[in-house]
Structure 1
Amino acid sequence: MTDAAPSSAQSWKVTLPCTRAEAEALDGDIAAFALMDKPPVLMTSEATPDDENAWQLDAYFEGEPSPAAIKLLRSLVPSANGIKPVVEQLPDEDWVTLSQQGLEPVTAGRFHIRNLASDPEQPGHVNFLIEASRAFGTGQHETTAGCLQMLDRMRRVGMRFGNVADIGTGTGLLAFAALHLWPNAYATASDIDPVAVDISAANAAANKIQAGKGQGQLALYVAAGVDHPAIATRAPYDLLIANILAGPLIELAPSLCALVEEGGTILLAGLLKEQADAVLSAYRAQGMRLAERMDNGDWPTLRLRKRPRIGWKRPTRLDKQARGEAPGYGSL
């Protein structure tokens, strides 16, 4: 989240802890600072991966912030009540460059992910530009990189898919990668967070991914889990990707599996090694089997295949009673 960048001279930063909910509430203009001649630029980030209560607010000021400005800032993050803010003067450098440190380009399989437009493209790779934002999925996290590597491997061994869904899409990156690998597929992507869907749409345009409902196009929806009529209507999918968290993956197992055709594939990520058995148990109960596992540090990526049923073919579309919601969970 940024406004116009302050000048490099005499830039100050104020840092406070916050929750993910507080961070998401800071999107757009902040009325508390509207009357300031030079309002601060607010940026939020995960302080601890996958902990919704461990986020961080960084406020960049042009000039030393006044006690009143710091008081206003504190009012935006009530969870930090009683915690002393970190106030520091930045070196005489461009604060944008400082804030983007650590976001180096990532190569995963055939894909090269740039987070800054100034980063050069990687020859011989599929290059995507996914600028840092509030939505998860810039390629930096092991879960996203693991999914990219698995998708690349699936294509290299000759797998073919014609109807793909990316549930909890974040920045849209995994849906973009799937469309590159299977350019004639129908593609659907959804997220519980409307901001993430807007970011995905902007990223699609920046990476020349065509929006729409036809072959080779990406249809985007705001949905809790798979709770959207269009997602059910476009089923059954032969490839479904869900890079979220272990809790919602388990909760969504029945509704996700109901959307996948017999013999179809589900790609799961966002879980830790110690959570893999519980997640696998939930999906095995829905007729899935583990086809392949790829560990990227502490973060496994699981490729599951839906077992064919014996006897007459049964409906594979979403049960009307299975809403596919995971309230309180956003995209990873």
Structure 2
Amino acid sequence: MTDAAPTAAQSWKVTLPCTRAEAEALDGDIAAFALMNSPPVLMTSEAAPDDENAWRLDAYFEGEPSPAAIKLLRTLVPSAAGAKPLIEQLPDEDWVTLSQQGLEPVTAGRFHVRNLAADPERSGHINFLIEASRAFGTGQHETTAGCLLMLDRMRRIGMRFGNVADVGTGTGLLAFAALHLWPRAYATASDIDPVAVDISAQNAAANRIPLGRGQGQLALYTAAGVDHPAIATRAPYDLLIANILAGPLIELAPSLCALVDEGGTILLAGLLQEQADAVLTAYRTQGMRLAERSDRGDWPTLRLRKRPAIGWKRPRRIDRQARGEAPGFGSL
């Protein structure tokens, strides 16, 4: 099959007025939108310099927003009940960059993630520069920060890894973090979107992450899920990270688990609290057990361990006909 991602949908922006209180209440991620395949990016800002209570909500959509999506957006800002939303079609490839500009740096454990080169580094931390781009994974999303915190904790309790994979890498941030924690590891990162893979390569250069297939280097691939010969060839992995969405996490469970060594670890994120049981069931069926769970708001991060194979209890392996893909999904 081809590695090319589907043609990206045209981007749209919906703007509604709101109050300062409503804007502050929107700090974080909105669970209702997270159930969508392509949830919008929400940004708030002051609308009038002389009125501290006048704010605006901008929602960036991949594809024309449906009436139901606009209705849901209205429920977030009740003060705009009588206002007509401003709906705009945006130039290609601009909306994610626009929505991410001016984000505050994020500190998660030993990691400090800046989105602007002008922001200072933080002493005593591992600093990354992930500038606004057309790919997701700047560290702002609760799931990305949750993964960074879990990786930090895993290192602190003495866990060691020698072969790491990051499926749905987005900007490459989680793969970079893993290589900093375990610098002698082999590392692989993939995304269905070739733009995300290109941006990950640019971010690797900006953060002095060496690219390549050797020890201490990061190999980047464009792939739907894990459907790439090199990803299978570089297996088995003792750490596999997948920060995507609940649907593809469940769909990819057999393929991801088959690539993990016995006793190895899978780190899952991108799911909501109410989706955790379904995701865990899918992975327990494949011989995984829950080792640790950490929640940030509505967003859990799951650390799973693959049970060793013992006689008839050997974990079920990947179907030979499965191609290890979940088309249309990438990192958060």
* TM-based fold match above 0.5: yes
- Matched-pair contact (CA < 8 Å) for 1:260–1:316: no
Aligned to 1:250: 250
Deviates more, 1:303-312 or 1:213-222: 303-312
State the distance in 2 between where 1:56 and 1:110 align: 27
Q: Residues 313, 210 of structure 1: CA spacing in aligned structure 2 closer, same or farther, 3 A cutoff?
A: farther
How far has the Cα of 1:148 moved from its partner?
Answer: 0.2
C-alpha distance in 2 between matches for 1:277 and 1:315: 19
For 2:63 and 2:305, the matched residues in 1 are separated by: 44
RMSD (CA atoms): 3.1
Identity %: 81
TM value normalised by structure 2: 0.73
Unpaired stretches in structure 1, ≥5 consecutive residues: 1-20, 28-45, 59-75, 89-96
Corresponding pairs, count: 267
Q: Could you tell me how far apart the structure 1 residues matched to 2:296 and 2:100 are?
A: 24
Alignment check: 8 A CA contact 1:225 1:326 kept = yes
> 2:293 matched to which residue of 1?
293
Match of 2:187 in 1: 187
For 1:142-153, list aligned pairs within 5 A. 142-153=142-153
Taking the aligned partners of 1:317 and 1:214, their CA distance within structure 2 comes to: 27
Provide the secondary structure at the position in 1 that maps to 2:195. helix
Aligned 1:72-151 pairs, distance under 5 A: 86=86, 103-151=103-151
Residues 109 and 253 of structure 1: CA distance in aligned 2, closer, same or farther (over 3 Å):
same
Q: Which secondary structure state, in structure 1, belongs to the residue aligned with residue 252 of structure 2? A: helix
| Structure 1 residue 53, shift from structure 2 partner | 5.3
Q: 1:120 to 1:259 in 2, by over 3 A?
A: same
How much does 1:315 deviate?
11
**Shift in Å, 1:209:** 0.3
| Equivalent position amino acid for 1:167 in 2 | V
- Alignment check: 8 A CA contact 1:166 1:189 kept: yes
2:279 corresponds to:
279
Contact 2:10 2:64 in 1 (8 A): no
Matched residue of 2:139: which SS?
A: coil
Q: Normalising to structure 1: TM-score of the pair? A: 0.73
* Greater C-alpha radius of gyration: 1
Once the two structures are TM-superposed, the CA of residue 80 in structure 1 deviates from its matched residue by: 7.0
Q: 1:55 matched to which residue of 2?
A: 40
Instruction: State the distance in 2 between where 1:100 and 1:252 align.
Output: 29
What amino acid is the match of 2:194? Answer: P
Runs of 4+ off more than 4 Å: 46-50, 76-81, 97-102, 312-319
1:163-190 deviations in whole A, cap 9, x for unaligned?
A: 0000000000000000000000000000
C-alpha contact (below 8 Å) 1:249/1:279 kept by paired residues: yes
Is the 1:259–1:316 contact (alpha carbons within 8 Å) kept by the matching residues of 2? no
Q: Are positions 1:156 and 2:156 aligned together?
A: yes
> Match of 1:323?
323
Q: Deviation at 1:320?
A: 3.8
Q: Distance in 2 between matches of 1:101 and 1:226?
A: 31
Report the alpha carbon displacement of residue 56 of structure 1 after superposing the two structures with TM: 6.8
Cα distance in 1, alignment partners of residues 101 and 174 from structure 2: 24
SS at match of 1:250: helix
Cα 1:307–1:99 shift into 2, 3 Å: closer
> Which residue of the partner structure matches residue 239 of structure 1?
239
